[in-house]
Amino acid sequence: MHQTFQKLSSIHGPLMYLRLGSVDCVVAPNPELAKELLKHHELTFSTRHHTAAIEHLTYNSSFAFAPYGPYWKFIKKLTTFELLGNRTLGQTLPVRTKELHHFIGILLGKSKSGETVNLTQELLKLTNNVISQMMLSIRCSGTVDQADGFRTLVREENEIFGYDSLLEKIMRDREELRKNKKPNDDDVKDFLDIMLDIFEDEHSEVQLTRNHIKALILDFLTAATDKTALIAVEWALAELINNPEVLRKAQQELDQVVGKSRQGSEGVIDVKGLHYQLLPFGTGRRGCPGISLAMQELAVTLAALVQCFDWNAGGGVDMSERPGLTAPRAYKLNCVPLARFTPTLFAT
């Protein structure tokens, strides 16, 4: 769709009015006009269009589609300063680091055996495991017993009752655990614990319901699974594989900054940025609250893939694109990882 809009703008100019079905739409594929609309007239565009399908699938309580008002402002503040704030990101860093190490370990194993790896699938597993542990303290992808159990639970519950029953079970199990556990200030709270704290607080600024919590879980799981950062890592690595001289330059820079014995970490590599040529996380009030987490994960994951491996894609990577909310690649990224070195963590 974005390519179609660009072609139309080359014919009709940098500001267009369209009707997408019954919905009025203004398209501004120009950085200056985008800035004018999103920065100086932001409130006009701060409410999302609702449909009956969205209301049904999100318990009519979605944060992503909530109108600009008290509920949206409360969840935005909660998300920015609690759920995805610096303190929480710092507390959950060991989870993200462990999952990245597990991911690199899988690739090292494939390298030793000379096997092709489906990087699209492995990156999705990495993302799923990180977000599911940060949100629910559950690891949902992999081969360990907990992951297999979670997938079995999801499959059985969905076949019989649908996702509502699954979410209810997760919430009930956590509530039962909280009853039998003594509070400890040193405990790292996940998303569900934070939401249940607010749900149980009679003096909360906004009184959350069970449906609010379910809708928010779906919002965040959906956004994280099909997130911009995951797609960006895949596109970036594909570009580097197709441009080996650029890949070599990136590897040399990482070798100089990080070294050849250790793997880069979030503390070593930090990227932030926003301008109106590209707005992958939106901007202003409706900007994605997960930008800090996404940018940390994007940088450290791509750096690890570049630093630790060369890549054999069998003659190059097809850069075709398929339709999707986040401009995904048309084909899976299948290639053979060739280890440049084994980080100290994995040395035997």
Binding residues for heme, as ranges, are 288
Largest CA distance in the chain: 66
Q: Tell me how far CA of residue 231 lies from CA of 93, 128, 283, 340, in angstroms.
A: 21, 13, 19, 24
DSSP one-letter code for 345: G
DSSP one-letter code for 329: B
Q: What residues form the annotated binding site?
A: 288
Question: Within the chain, where are the H helices?
Answer: 2-12, 31-35, 52-57, 70-78, 86-91, 93-113, 119-136, 145-160, 163-179, 191-200, 210-225, 228-242, 244-257, 291-308
> Edge to edge, what strands does the sheet with 334-339 contain?
117-118, 334-339, 309-312
The long-range contacts involving 47-54, CB below 8 angstroms and separated by at least 24 positions, are 48/286, 49/23
DSSP one-letter code for 61: -
Q: By C-alpha distance, which of 328, 238, 332 is closest to 1?
A: 328
Give the side-chain half-sphere CA count within 13 A for 237.
Answer: 32
Q: How far out from the chain centre does Cα 281 lie? A: 11
